[in-house]
Every structure is written in C-alpha cells, then in structure tokens.
Amino acid sequence: MRVNGKAYRTIWPAADGEAVEIIDQTLLPHQFAIVRLTTLEDAAKAIRTMQVRGAPLIGAAAAYGMCLAMRADASDAALDRAYDALLATRPTAVNLRWALDVMREHLRNRPPADRAGAAYRRAAEICNEDVAINEAIGAHGATLLGKIAATKNGPLNVLTHCNAGWLAAVDWGTALAPVYKVHEKGLPIHVWVDETRPRNQGMSLTAWELGQMGVPHTVIADNTGGHLMQHGLVDAVIVGSDRTTAHGDVCNKIGTYLKALAAKDNGVPFYVALPSPTIDWKIDDGIAEIPIEQRDGAELSRIRGRLADGRVVEVDIAPEGSAMANYAFDVTPAHLVTWLITERGICAASASGLRALFPASARSGVPQHA
C-alpha cells in the first residue's frame, strides 16, 4: 500500500539480505519510522511490544524471526529455542503458531548449513502468499459489498473495529481489502472507524492508512456503533480475526462481540474477513478454548498523544490506585456472523461452510491454503 505516495509492505528483508525491516506501528500516526531487526530477540520484542501486530503480520514477523535465529545459530537446539521464544510472544493470534510450524517443518530435515538460506526463501514465500491471499479476500469481499452498494443511493457505509488493514498484514489487509477494492473501482464508500481502546488501533492505524489511501472515513468512540446502526447509518460491519474455530466462532479485538450483537439486533450484516492460516482446525468452541491475551493495565491507564509543539508524550488518565483489567480479545459466536470472507470465497460461519471451502484442511486439521 502507499505511504505519501510510495509503495510499502509492513515487513521486508533489508538490502543486506540479512536484517529485516519493519514499520514501527507503536509510533503511528505521529511518526513514520522504519526499524531494523537483526536478532531473534529483536523479532520477539517487535511482536510482544506490538511494533508489528495483526494476526497475518505476526505470522510473517515470526517467520523472519526464525530466519534471524538461523543466521546466528542453525543447530537443532537453536531451531527449537527460536520456535519456543517466538511462540511465547503473544497467545491469541493462531497465525503465529501456523508460521512457526511451517518454518520448523521446512527447516528440520535440512543440514544446518542450508537452514538460513532456506528460511529466508520460505519467509519471503509466506509474505508473498499473504499478499495474494489478502488481495483475493479483497475481491470476494468487494463482490459482497458491491451487492449492497447497488441497492443504495449515496455512499456505502461500513463500520470496522480495530485495524485489519494492510498494517495488520504484509499488504492489503483482510477486513479493509474489500474496502480498498471497492474504492479502487470508484464506488462511493465511507468507513466508520472504531477508535478501539485501549491501544487505539482504529484511531492510530486504520484512520491513518485509510487517509493515506484517500478513503473517506470517520473515527467514532467504540460505544457509538450501536446508535449508528439503530439510525440506519451502517450498511455492513466488516472485521478481521485472530483465530477462527473449525465451527466458525471468531476471536478478534476486544469489543468485536458487542458490535456483532448490535448488528444482529439491527439487521446489519456482520462480515469477518480472514486468511486460511487464521483458522484453528483443532478448536471447536471458541469461548471455551481460545486463549485470550491479557495485557498490561498501563495500556488502559496511560495514553500517548502529540503536543502542540510536536512532541509525543504519554500521560496518566486514571485515578491513582485503581485496578485495571486489559483483555485484548473476545469471541463472537458463529451464530452472530453473517458470512466469512476467505481467499477461496465466502462461506457460512459453520463447520460445513468451512469444510466446503477447505476440505483438505478440515480432514487433516492443518491449514493447507496453497
């Protein structure tokens, strides 16, 4: 996607072919900074501290983390150490485990001397596959949105929660890919952007990237969506996913479940866009089985902003001594999801719906998107 007119991905191998470069998303929207990762520890820290975030990008960053590890030490022990260190960074987005399984499987039976080279090649493939998958999601989702647009006078109004745009993947994104495709076709579209407390991925990242791409949008407080739906100002909700079960339960950023309830109550279609590596074929009951990350309470009690003189500062917004609870994700049960949008097409959020699109994965229990 473009930043100030220049094409970017969110992660790429540096010119020296060894280090890995990322856009530091903790500094957006106030600063656009490229950061170099040169060690396994750098990659793990980038995922843990959310310099890179979003399920598909977490997977890609983990793949490059394995590359950096193999460059330093390509032994079997180092391979397993890197796998464990990266897997421990964040618990919810299943793309992390998927990418680490793909990389370890790809490297395990190779002589250590070949592992670093093979790792960089496989990580690059994972990134290119991610871009192709997301563009396909964009095309399928645009068909869905186009059908609604055809019934309307005036812009199509979609609401999104968190950031599931190109910043959350290698490129294109998932939930925002159909928005970009519709916009590219010249169809009028407007996006309601949930600010997405406490880390404000909507305010800081989604609004920023939509602005860079010239897509009309309005930032709203997280509690506003239901009111807008009651007044017919939302034609569809489209969100991403960090882990979707084999039965169609969808785990995504905290607050997504509440949007799904409001959408159901107001007859607004609720779409979930996801690439196949985000499907966890080993889990049926999302509410009971998906590990939900809890992050530091300071993400809730402190907030970052830019002063009039351009300095970026962090301030306390909470009374001293109050306890904080910071759940990062929630689960929307399958019955609240209108359609799942994948790279292979659109299906019901159900075991039979997913099985029809991904028969081999449903049989083997392992994502097989190629």
Residues engaged in binding ligand MRU (CB under 6 A)? 53-56, 93, 162, 164, 168-169, 173-174, 201, 240-242, 252-253, 328
- The least CB distance from residue 35 to ligand MRU, in Å, is 17
CA dist 128 and 130 (Å) reads 5
Q: Which residue is nearest to ligand MRU (CB)?
A: 240
242 assigned to active site:
yes
Cβ nearer to ligand MRU, comparing 1 with 107? 1
**Using the 8-state DSSP alphabet, how is residue 30 labeled?**
T
Q: Which of 55, 51, 52 lies closest to 99, judged by CA?
A: 55
Q: What single string gives the DSSP state of each residue in 35-68?
A: EEE-SHHHHHHHHHTTSS-SHHHHHHHHHHHHHH
Cβ nearer to ligand MRU, comparing 107 with 245? 245
**Using the 8-state DSSP alphabet, how is residue 285 labeled?**
-
CA dist 14 and 4 (Å) reads 21
- The least CB distance from residue 75 to ligand MRU, in Å, is 31
Cβ nearer to ligand MRU, comparing 200 with 301? 200
CA dist 212 and 222 (Å) reads 22
- The least CB distance from residue 241 to ligand MRU, in Å, is 6
Q: What single string gives the DSSP state of each residue in 210-275?
A: HHHTT--EEEE-GGGHHHHHHTT--SEEEE--SEEETT--EEEETTHHHHHHHHHHTT--EEEE--
**H or E element that contains 93:** none
**H or E element that contains 151:** none
Is there a contact between 340 and 276 (Cβ–Cβ < 8 Å)? Answer: no
Residues in Cβ contact with 239 at an 8 Å cutoff, skipping those fewer than 6 apart: 160, 161, 162, 164, 175, 250, 252, 253, 256, 259, 270, 271, 272, 273
- The least CB distance from residue 329 to ligand MRU, in Å, is 6
- The least CB distance from residue 303 to ligand MRU, in Å, is 16
Cβ nearer to ligand MRU, comparing 170 with 268? 170
CA dist 365 and 280 (Å) reads 8
Q: Phi and psi at residue 162, in whole multiples of 5°? A: 65, -160
Cβ nearer to ligand MRU, comparing 327 with 366? 327
Dihedral (CA of 24, 28, 30, 32) sign: positive
Cβ nearer to ligand MRU, comparing 42 with 130? 130
- The least CB distance from residue 130 to ligand MRU, in Å, is 10
Given the residues 242, 249, 280, 330, the one annotated as active site? 242
CA dist 176 and 157 (Å) reads 13
- The least CB distance from residue 334 to ligand MRU, in Å, is 17
Cβ nearer to ligand MRU, comparing 294 with 364? 294
List residues with catalytic annotation. 242
